[in-house]
Structure 1
Amino acid sequence: MAACSFRRSIASQLSKVLDLPPENLIKSISAVPVSKKRHVADFQLSIASVTEDSSTDCLAQDLHLQAQKLAERLKCDAVVREISAGPGTVNFTINRELLAKTVLQQVLKDGSQYGVKSELFSAVPRQKAVIEFSSPNIAKKFHVGHLRSTIVGNFIANLKVALGHEVIRINYLGDWGMQFGLLGVGFQHFGNKEKLKSSPLQHLFERLGVHFDEYSGESFYHEKSQEILKTLEDKGLLQKTIKGTGIVDLSEKKDLSSFSTVMRSDGTSLYITRDLAAAIDRMNKHSCDTMIYVTDKSQSNHFQHLFQILKLMGYDWAERCQHVSFGLVQGMKTRRGEVIFLEDVLNEVRSRMLQNMASAKTTKEVEDPMETAEKVGLAALIIQDFRGLLSSDYQFSWDRALQSRGDTGVFLQYTHARLHRGVKFMMGITETSRKRKPIKMNFPPHFHSLEQMHGNEQLTDVNVACLQEPDAISVLQHLLRYDEVLYRSSQDLQPKHIVSYLLTLSHLAAVAHKTLPVKGSAPELAQARLCLFQAARLVLASGMKLLGITPVTQM
C-alpha cells in the first residue's frame, strides 16, 4: 500500500528521535486533505496524539513549540524531501517522483483491492457478521421506507466483505399473520427459489443490485417464541401485569421503571419475542462474531430492549449485537404526487434521467439508454441518501439529486464515464523517444483490457517524473488518503466518509482532465497522464461499488 510505505518510512525516523516503537506512531501519521487554496504537505504527525500515548520529555504542553523543535531534529532523506512545523503538527512532503511512482504502481497493481490491504487494518481481526436489512412486509408492495434499510445494509455488507470479513446477508420478511411461510422459510428449507423469484420483491432487489444469503420470516419463529417465553419464565425474568401481559423488568433497581412487554394477555408472542428467538437461532446456526440490524431510528428502543433481554438471559454475545439506525426521508414526491412505493421511485428516477439524457449531446453514444438511466438514477438516490449522517432525516429533492454538476451521484457517474472514455481512447499512444531514464512499471491484466480500440499494445515504461503539475500532485495526494477513509467508515459504518472522498476525487480529476491534456501532448507526458487518470478511475469505481453503485462507461 502506497500510503503505508510512506508512513513506515516517516515512523522509522520519528521512532529514533522520540524513542518510541514505529508501530506506535503509524496511526498518528495521516495523509493531509487536499486544499484548493494552497499547496499542502503529504503527511502530518499530530503532536497531541503522540503526547497522549507517551511521557517522553521532548513533548511538552506547548504543542506548537514542540512541533517546531521536533521538526528541527528530523532530517530529509530519499523519501521525505521537506519537513515543516504547523499548528501542533509536523508536516512531511514526499519526494515528488517517488510519490507518483509509488501511488500509481500500487493503484494499478491492486486494482479494486487498493486501500483495503493497508496496515491500518492489520490489527483488525477478520470476523463473521450477520447483517439483517431490508425486511419488508411481503404481503404489501415494497414501501419507500425500506429503501434506506436496503441500500444502507448493502453498503455495510459490501464494506465488510471488501475488508476480508465473512458476511451473511439476511432479509427478515414481515410475514406474520399471513400465509407466506413458504415464500420465506420454504426458500431455505425446501430450496423453493422459483416461488421467491416469482415475487416482485426479488425483481426490485435485482434493480437495486442487492442479494441476500438467507430469507426468513417472523412466522418461522412462532413456535420458537413460545420456547423463549418458557425460558424467561424458568429464569425468573417473566412477570405478569394485572392485565395478564408478560413483561421483563429492565431497570437497574428492579423497580419496573423500565420494562419490555414480551407477551400478550392471551399468551401469544410479540415482535420482540420473535426477534429474541431469531437472534438466538442465528447465533446457534452461524456462530457469528457480530450481529447487525439495519432499521430506522424509531426502532432504537426496541433493539436496546432486545439486547438487554438477551444479556439477562445469559447470552454475553448480546454485547456484540449492533443496531445501525437511519433517519427519515422527507418530501419524496413523483409528478403524480406523494411517493409510497419503491417501484414509483425507480420509475420516476428512470424517466427523469432518460429525459435529461435525451437533451444531452452524448445520448446517441449510449448503447442501452434505459439501463444507463437506471444505473445513473440509482447513483443519484444513493449519493443524496449517503451524504450526511445516517441517523439524520433529510429533505429529498429530485432537482438536487439529478444535477449533472455539483456533489451528486450523476456527477460521479459522469466523471467515471469520462475517465473511462478518455483512457480507452488514448491507450494506443506509445513513446518513440525519451530524454530521461524511464521508471519501469508493469501493468496488470485489468489495465490492458482498456486497449480494445487500439489492439493489444502494452504500456510497460512510464516516466512518472512528468507528473509534477499542481493538479497532478493534488490527485496523487488524494489517492494517498483512500485507506484512511475506508478505515474511518469501517469504524463507524457511515458511508458519508467515502461519499465525500469520491466527490472530491471527481472534482480533482475533472480539473486535471482539463489542465493536463493527453491528446496532443508529448508521448511520454501523455502516457504518464494516462496512468494518472486510469488510477483515479479505478479508485472511483471501487468506492462507488462499495456504496452499491454500478459505474457506467457511457453517458
Structure 2
Amino acid sequence: MACFFRRSIAVKLSRILQQPEDAFISALSAVPASKKQQNADFRLPINTLFKDGIVPSKGDLQSQAEALLNELKPDSVVEDISAGRGVINFRVHRKILVQKMLETLGKDDERFGLDSELLNRLEKGRTLVEYSSPNIAKRFHAGHLRSTIIGNFIANLKQCLGNEVIRVNYLGDWGMQFGILGAGFEKYGSQEKLKENPLQHLFDVYVQVNREAEINEGLWHAAREFFRQLEHHEDKAMSLWQQFREISVKEYEQVYKRLGVRFDIYSGESFHEGQTQEVVQRLQNLGLLKTTEKGTGVVDLSPTGDMSTYSTVLRSDGTSLYITRDIAAAIDRKEKHTFHEMIYVTDKSQQNHFGQLFQILLAMGHSWAQRCRHVSFGLVQGMKTRRGEVIFLEDILDEARARMLHNMSQSITTKDMENPEDTAEKVGISALIIQDFKGPLESDYKFEWDRMLQAKGDTGVFLQYTHARLCSLIEMQGNGQELELDPSLLLEPSSICILQHLLRYDEVLYHSAQDLQPKHLVNFLLKLCHLVASALRELPVKGSPHNVAQARLRLFSRTRSVLANGMRILGITPVYKM
C-alpha cells in the first residue's frame, strides 16, 4: 500500500531533518506512471518543506535538494534516491512494491487505498448533501442531471472516506409557480389525464396557463389567490398541491432508480414555509430586517451599511421567498442533524443566492455557516436526441440505452448475456457520467452522442469494457490466489507501471475530497484502463507457465477491484459482461 512506502520514507526524512514523521506524509507525492520510461515512485518537492515551515530556507531549491540528497541513503525499502529540479526522488525496491501492493488481495478489497495516513488527515463527521432538487409537478428536466450525478458522487466520496452522509432531495414544492399551476389546473386540468400521464398533463397545463396569462390579466389574480390559499393552508388548495407532490415524487423515484441514485430524505420548501415567520422575527430582533419604499423586507449585506447590496426576504404582501425558506431549512437541518458540514449542489447561476444565504446565516450568529459550501456547475449544450430538442431526462436515458444496445449488437466482441437491455442501460449511463465529469464542473460542455458512446478513447464505455474484460479473464482463469505470490514474476515494465499508478489512488481521493471535483478520479481510472490494455497485450495469462499466469492474474484482480471501487464512487454500476 502507498501508506507503507510514505511512512518508510517519512521515517528516513524525520531522522535527518529532526521533524515529526507526520510532517512529511502529505509533502510526499506519488510520481505519475509512464510507459515510456521507468520513473521514481515518490517525490518530495523541497519548496513544500519551506512553505509548510518544516525546515528553514537556506539558499536556492536545487542546492537544498542536493544537500539533503547527500544525507539520504538507500535502505531495505528504498533502493534509489536522486535529485531533480528542486525535488528529491525515491524509488522503492521492485519486489517490495509488488509484494505490498498485492499482498492483501481478497481481504476487504473495497478498502484498498482507504486506510491511508493521508486520508486520515481529512476531517470526519456528519455531511449533509443537498442535490437534484427538481420542481414538483414538472417532468424531470435534463438540466437536473448534473445536480443529481454530481451530488451523488460527492455523497459517495464522503461516505467511502468515513463520513456519515445524509442525502437530501430538497424539492421545489412551494412558491408562486404553484399558484399559477393551481389556477391553471382549476381551469384546464383533468383528473382522468392526471391518472394516465400525470407529469406530462401537469406540464401541458402549466404551458397552457402561462400562454393564456400573457393576454388574460385575470389569470394572474387567480394564481395569486391560489398561492394565498396555500400559504393559509386552505383545504381545497392544499389537497390539490398534495396530489401534485405525491405524483411527482413517485415519478422521480423511477428516474433515480435508473440512475442508481438514492436519498435518505425527501424534503422541500413546503416543509419550512411555516418556519419563515420565526426567521423574519429573528432578523427583526437582531436589527437586520429593513423595509424598502416598495414595502419589501430586505437584509442589508453591504460592508458599509448603505444598502448598496441587499437580499430580499419578504414580498410586499408578506409572503416568503426562496431564500427565506432556505434560511429556515438550514437552521432546521442544523438543529435536527447536527451536521459537521452541509454541501449544496446547484448550477452556477445560483452562486449569488448561496453567497447571500451564508452571509445572512453568519449575520444571525450561526457560525456553522462557515462550514456550508456551494458546489456549482456549468451548463450542458446541445443535449438532443434523434427526435430533436429534448428537455426531459427520461428521453436522454432511453436514447443512451437504445444507442448503446445498437452499438453492442454491431460489435463482434459483444458477449451473450441474459439481459442486454440492462447492460446497455448501465453502460449508457456510465457514458453520460464520464462525459460530464471529465472536465472542471464549472465549465459548460457540449454534449456529443457519438464521442460519448465510443468504445475506444476516454469514455465511460471504455471503462466498462475494460472492467468486463478483466472480469471475463478472472472468470475463465481464476484470481491468482491459487499460489503464494512470487514478486519476482511481476517485474516487467507494464506490471510495474500499473502498480506505480495504483500508488496514486489515495492521493486522487484526497484531492477529490478537497475540491469535490470528480475529474481527478475520472482521469485516474481512464489512465488505469489504458495501462491495463497494454498489460493485457504484454502479459498474457493463457499459455504462460502456471506460476507466471497466477502472478499476472493477481495483478489483474487487484486492478479490477480498484477500477470497480472507483466507478462506484463516481456513481457508475460496473458491468461484468458486455
Would the TM-score normalized by the shorter structure come out above 0.5?
yes
2: CA distance, partners of 1:419 / 1:200: 37
2: CA distance, partners of 1:256 / 1:61: 52
1:63-142 alignment runs, 5 A limit: 63-106=61-104, 108-142=106-140
- 1:517 aligns with 540
- 1:473 aligns with 496
Q: 1:55 offset after TM fit, Å? A: 6.9
- 2:568 aligns with 545
Contact 1:115 1:486 in 2 (8 A): no
Q: Structure 1, residues 119-169: CA drift from partner, whole Å, max 9, x if none?
A: 112232321011110000120000011000000000000001101101111
Q: Give the partner amino acid of 1:39.
A: Q
1:4 is the counterpart of 2:34: no
Q: Structure 1, residues 101-126: CA drift from partner, whole Å, max 9, x if none?
A: 10012454341111211011223232
2: CA distance, partners of 1:472 / 1:492: 31
- 1:289 aligns with 340
Q: 1:299 offset after TM fit, Å? A: 0.3
- 1:508 aligns with 531
Contact 1:107 1:538 in 2 (8 A): no
Query: Alignment partner for residue 329 of structure 1, among 380, 385, 394?
Result: 380
1:231 is the counterpart of 2:282: yes
Contact 1:196 1:202 in 2 (8 A): no
| 1:100 match: secondary structure | helix
2: CA distance, partners of 1:529 / 1:364: 23
2: CA distance, partners of 1:19 / 1:225: 57
Q: 1:204 offset after TM fit, Å? A: 0.3
Q: 101-110 or 411-420: which moved more?
A: 101-110
1:308-457 alignment runs, 5 A limit: 308-427=359-478
Query: Alignment partner for residue 299 of structure 1, among 339, 350, 358?
Result: 350
Contact 2:314 2:324 in 1 (8 A): yes
| 2:26 match: secondary structure | helix
1:14 is the counterpart of 2:13: yes
- 1:440 aligns with none
| 2:346 match: secondary structure | strand
2: CA distance, partners of 1:18 / 1:176: 61
1:528 is the counterpart of 2:528: no
| 1:200 match: secondary structure | helix
- 2:238 aligns with none
C-alpha RMSD over aligned residues: 1.9
2: CA distance, partners of 1:249 / 1:359: 63
Q: Structure 1, residues 174-225: CA drift from partner, whole Å, max 9, x if none?
A: 111548999xxxxxxxxx9x95797210000000001100011212222211
Contact 1:197 1:203 in 2 (8 A): no
2: CA distance, partners of 1:130 / 1:55: 35
Contact 1:71 1:90 in 2 (8 A): yes
| 1:365 match: secondary structure | coil
Q: 1:258 offset after TM fit, Å? A: 0.8
| 1:224 match: secondary structure | helix
Q: Give the partner amino acid of 2:464.
A: Q
Identical amino acids, percent of aligned pairs: 58
- 2:35 aligns with 36
Residue ranges of structure 1 left out of the alignment (5+ in a row)? 183-191, 428-446, 449-457
1: CA distance, partners of 2:92 / 2:321: 61
2: CA distance, partners of 1:276 / 1:162: 30
- 2:185 aligns with none
Q: 311-320 or 14-23: which moved more?
A: 14-23
2: CA distance, partners of 1:337 / 1:552: 30
- 1:432 aligns with none
Q: 1:236 offset after TM fit, Å? A: 1.3
Residue ranges of structure 2 left out of the alignment (5+ in a row)? 183-201, 203-229, 234-242
| 2:103 match: secondary structure | helix
> Aligned residue pairs: how many?
515
- 1:257 aligns with 308
1:143-162 alignment runs, 5 A limit: 143-162=141-160
- 2:58 aligns with 60
